[in-house]
A and B are shown apart, each in its own frame.
Chain A
Amino acid sequence: MLALLGATALVLVAGTPWVLPAAGGGINLNCSQNLEVNIIDDNVTLKWNRRDESVRNTTFSADYEKPETDNWIRLPGCQHVTGTECSFSLPVLNVFKEIKFRVRAEQGITSSWCEVISITPFAKAQIGPPGVHLEAEDTAIIVKLSSPGTKDSIIWALEGSSFLYSLVIWKNSSSVERRTKNVYPRDTIYELSPETTYCLKVKAEILVLRKVGVYSPVYCINTTVENKIPRPENLDVSVKNQRYVLKWDHAFANVTFRVQWLHAFAKRNPGSHLYQWKQITDCENITTTQCVFPQNLFLRGIYYLRVQASDGNNSSFWSEEKRFDIEIISIIHPPIINVKSTSDSLRIYMDAPQDSENEPVNQHVPLSYEIILWKNTSNAERKILENNRDFTIPHLQPLTVYCLKARAHLVDKKQNKSSIFSDAVCEKTKPGNSSKSWLIAGICLGLFALIAVVYFVKVLQKAITYVFFPSLKPSSNIDKVRTLLFFVNV
């Protein structure tokens, strides 16, 4: 009996050290108070605090748990660290779901889990700097940007087309004149001076998430010596006789030109195979500063065009890329104004203009209208801006002749175009008191009607009384007849 008790006691005493850590609650080690997670691109940093500074020989390890699983997985690079932070690369997981991190403090063989934090990686992540590659020309710098993070980024896997880049550029000599510009991942900054050092930095952002990234480090580059052959300038595209005409300016004679085109949407995704400038065969090795190509080459969509000059040995840099939107390309014609007048307003409808061949112009172009209104008798003009084709100009004077002319503007800011003013159209507003006089006439009519009704009712009443309620008194004639008959019978 005693031996049994003794044995049990021995087992209990010996077993305690192993039992208690397994339960995991008893030992109060230097637990972290604040577990912080920082994510920049795919780099995650965990930070925690030691509670008790004096205790040495404490190491920390961190684990993570994937969503909807019960497995805690060890984080490489975060095992048995002596400091209070560790960094690692984001493991492969669904970054749009919550994951949990935990840190445990270890002293010898004893340890306890201290802190659990759960975050959604994508929501917490910050955008790092984009990769910048520059190429210098004489009056321009070609900028090639790569998205933040690595190519196989886990956190930005869906953001291939989401990043919008903002670039700041300045001359190295005077940092005061800074120019900020929104750029595509492959873009060019024009209007620079040759043989000058320019410095720039770029940041990426995701517009609707209001996530703005950090700026890249500053990159400086020297623009080259001015090229012998200048770039073609002032590209302009128009339509004529079912064909497109591209015109440009170039100072030199004896040069040949070639024209290339690109799908506009490829600019959003320059890494793809679609980002390839292609030749327009009708515009190769031409000597005039204009090129005509058939309309069926570009039936729909938006494109970019560029021109290069060459004298056989040397060639110029590519011209500024010209945006070419098929829908907008035709000349903006002035609208045809339809006016209807009331006593104090004019109802205006802008009809679709017709081009020289009397065919209705493409109606799908977003247009806004600028209307100039004046009274026929005075010169004072009033400017009205309208976005709709159907609108009313209120608060006008009655019985006045108003004249107006209008022109259409392209809403698309990237192509600044407007039509000429239409011919003036004049219209007289209707008499103002018309409503009042109608009211008076109405009242008079009402009165007359009332009198007529009363009279009619009276007549009706008489007739009804006569028919249905006749008076019993015979007429005087019958009295005479009766007297006569009486005398006859007797």
Chain B
Amino acid sequence: MCTKPDMIPKCLWLIVLVGLCITGNLSLDCNLLNVHLRRVTLQNLRLLSSMSNSFPRECLKENKDFELPQEILSHTQTVKRGLREAFYEVSIQAFHIFSQYTFEPTWKLKHLNQIQMGLDKQLEYLEQCLQEEENENADVKEAAMKYSGAQGPQVHNLELRRYFNKMHNFLKEKKYSHCAWDIVQVEIRRCIYYFYQFTALLRRK
């Protein structure tokens, strides 16, 4: 778990590098959706926080460092769409992890349902925007891709998937114990939090 302070910036760096350059003009709908995306994301963060408020002390010794790889630092060709895509990936992977949670007690399940509802809404907003852009800017995107190298978004997504893969493997290894779930939840919350900070960048243009 990222209890060490130097671990926290690693997720931050991923987002920083994905969101450094803000270019392009997006449809107004996306700008409006961003406002609501931020609101929904904040709600989800609050939910996730309240769920992991009672983090049991005995789970601390099972800490795991799901370090985000530093190689992402070398990719500076970042577009607003890249940040949105990365956030979409994070949301989908978080949703996927939570949909495998099948624990009692029922109060936790109810809470979990709310998180899934929230993430679903988050995904709706992101999908609407991404699909619209896909249709609108098909030509612009192709030109941009040729210029910056088609590897760009693929590499981001590999890094993100490696990160979530570590969480999946951790859960399997610990046989989906309560501690393992709590640790993974906190990690997901931390990651979504940094993306939340960067959705502010999406708003500015």
Spell out A's residues near B (CB within 8 Å): 94, 96-97, 120, 122-123, 157-162, 207-210, 263-265, 268-269, 272-274, 300-302, 364, 366, 368, 387-388, 411-413
Question: What's the nearest-Cβ distance from chain B to residue A271, in Å?
Answer: 9
The answer to whether A268 touches B120, judged by C-beta atoms less than 8 angstroms apart, is yes
The answer to whether B161 touches A158, judged by C-beta atoms less than 8 angstroms apart, is yes
The answer to whether A158 touches B93, judged by C-beta atoms less than 8 angstroms apart, is yes
The answer to whether B99 touches A160, judged by C-beta atoms less than 8 angstroms apart, is yes
Is residue B157 contacting chain A, with contact meaning CB distance below 8 A? yes
- In the complex with contacts A207-B130, A364-B39, A411-B32, A158-B96 CB distance below 8 A: yes
The answer to whether A162 touches B92, judged by C-beta atoms less than 8 angstroms apart, is yes
Q: How far is the CA of A197 from the CA of B96 in the complex (A)?
A: 36
The answer to whether A123 touches B154, judged by C-beta atoms less than 8 angstroms apart, is yes
Point out the residue from A97, A264, A387, A388 that lies within 8 Å of B120, measured CB to CB: A264
- In the complex with contacts A158-B161, A161-B99, A263-B117, A368-B32 CB distance below 8 A: yes
Point out the residue from A122, A159, A210, A366 that lies within 8 Å of B36, measured CB to CB: A366
- In the complex with contacts A94-B165, A157-B168, A364-B39, A264-B95 CB distance below 8 A: no
Give me 23 A-to-B residue pairs in the complex whose CB atoms sit less than 8 angstroms apart, sorted by A's number.
A94-B165, A96-B161, A120-B158, A122-B158, A123-B154, A162-B93, A207-B88, A210-B153, A263-B116, A264-B117, A265-B120, A268-B95, A268-B120, A268-B123, A269-B96, A301-B114, A301-B117, A366-B36, A368-B28, A368-B29, A387-B29, A387-B31, A411-B29
The answer to whether A387 touches B93, judged by C-beta atoms less than 8 angstroms apart, is no
Is residue B102 contacting chain A, with contact meaning CB distance below 8 A? yes
The answer to whether B153 touches A162, judged by C-beta atoms less than 8 angstroms apart, is no
Point out the residue from B36, B116, B118, B153 that lies within 8 Å of A208, measured CB to CB: B153
Q: How far is the CA of A159 from the CA of B92 in the complex (A)?
A: 9
- Give the contacts of B102-137 with A (CB-CB under 8 A): 102, 113-114, 116-121, 123, 127-128, 130-131, 134
Q: How far is the CA of A211 from the CA of B99 in the complex (A)?
A: 23
Q: Which residues of A contact B120 (CB under 8 A)?
A: 264-265, 268, 302
The answer to whether A364 touches B36, judged by C-beta atoms less than 8 angstroms apart, is yes
The answer to whether A158 touches B164, judged by C-beta atoms less than 8 angstroms apart, is yes
Q: Which residues of A contact B187 (CB under 8 A)?
A: none
| Inter-chain pairs besides A122-B158, A207-B130, A366-B36, 20 sampled, C-beta below 8 Å | A96-B162, A160-B99, A161-B95, A207-B88, A207-B134, A208-B88, A208-B157, A209-B154, A210-B153, A264-B120, A265-B95, A265-B117, A268-B95, A274-B99, A274-B116, A301-B117, A301-B121, A364-B36, A387-B32, A412-B128
Closest residue of chain A to B167 (Cβ to Cβ) is A158
Q: How far is the CA of A123 from the CA of B127 in the complex (A)?
A: 22
Question: What's the nearest-Cβ distance from chain A to residue B195, in Å?
Answer: 14
Interface residues on B, range: 35 or more
Is residue B67 contacting chain A, with contact meaning CB distance below 8 A? no
Q: How far is the CA of A368 from the CA of B118 in the complex (A)?
A: 22
**Most A Cβ at <10 Å: residue of B92, B93, B123, B127:** B92
Q: Which residues of B contact A273 (CB under 8 A)?
A: 102
Interface of chain A, main secondary structure: loop
10 A-B pairs with least C-beta separation: A265-B120, A301-B117, A208-B85, A161-B96, A387-B32, A96-B162, A269-B99, A265-B116, A387-B28, A160-B96
Question: What's the nearest-Cβ distance from chain B to residue A272, in Å?
Answer: 5
Question: What's the nearest-Cβ distance from chain A to residue B130, in Å?
Answer: 6
The answer to whether B130 touches A208, judged by C-beta atoms less than 8 angstroms apart, is yes
Question: What's the nearest-Cβ distance from chain A to residue B40, in Å?
Answer: 9
**Most B Cβ at <10 Å: residue of A97, A157, A207:** A207
Q: Which residues of B contact A301 (CB under 8 A)?
A: 113-114, 117-118, 121
**Most A Cβ at <10 Å: residue of B35, B85, B117, B130:** B117
- In the complex with contacts A94-B165, A162-B96, A207-B32 CB distance below 8 A: no
Q: Which residues of B contact A160 (CB under 8 A)?
A: 96, 99-100
Point out the residue from A97, A157, A161, A300 that lies within 8 Å of B92, measured CB to CB: A161
Question: What's the nearest-Cβ distance from chain A to residue B92, in Å?
Answer: 5
Is residue B33 contacting chain A, with contact meaning CB distance below 8 A? yes
Q: Which residues of A contact B165 (CB under 8 A)?
A: 94, 96, 157-158
Question: What's the nearest-Cβ distance from chain A to residue B8, in Å?
Answer: 23
Q: How far is the CA of A96 from the CA of B29 in the complex (A)?
A: 34
**Most B Cβ at <10 Å: residue of A157, A158, A263, A268:** A158
Closest residue of chain A to B156 (Cβ to Cβ) is A208
Q: How far is the CA of A159 from the CA of B95 in the complex (A)?
A: 11
Q: How far is the CA of A274 from the CA of B118 in the complex (A)?
A: 15
Q: Which residues of A contact B116 (CB under 8 A)?
A: 263, 265, 274
Q: How far is the CA of A77 from the CA of B182 in the complex (A)?
A: 42
The answer to whether A366 touches B32, judged by C-beta atoms less than 8 angstroms apart, is yes
Q: How far is the CA of A157 from the CA of B89 in the complex (A)?
A: 14
Question: What's the nearest-Cβ distance from chain B to residue A362, in Å?
Answer: 12
Interface flags, B39-71, vs A, CB<8A=1, else 0 = 100000000000000000000000000000000
Q: Which residues of B contact A368 (CB under 8 A)?
A: 28-29, 32
Q: Which residues of A contact B121 (CB under 8 A)?
A: 301-302
Q: Which residues of A contact B127 (CB under 8 A)?
A: 207
Question: What's the nearest-Cβ distance from chain A to residue B144, in Å?
Answer: 13
Q: How far is the CA of A263 from the CA of B119 in the complex (A)?
A: 13
Q: How far is the CA of A157 from the CA of B96 in the complex (A)?
A: 10
Closest residue of chain B to A325 (Cβ to Cβ) is B121
The answer to whether A123 touches B158, judged by C-beta atoms less than 8 angstroms apart, is yes
Q: How far is the CA of A163 from the CA of B18 in the complex (A)?
A: 23
Q: How far is the CA of A301 from the CA of B128 in the complex (A)?
A: 18
Q: Which residues of B contact A387 (CB under 8 A)?
A: 28-29, 31-32
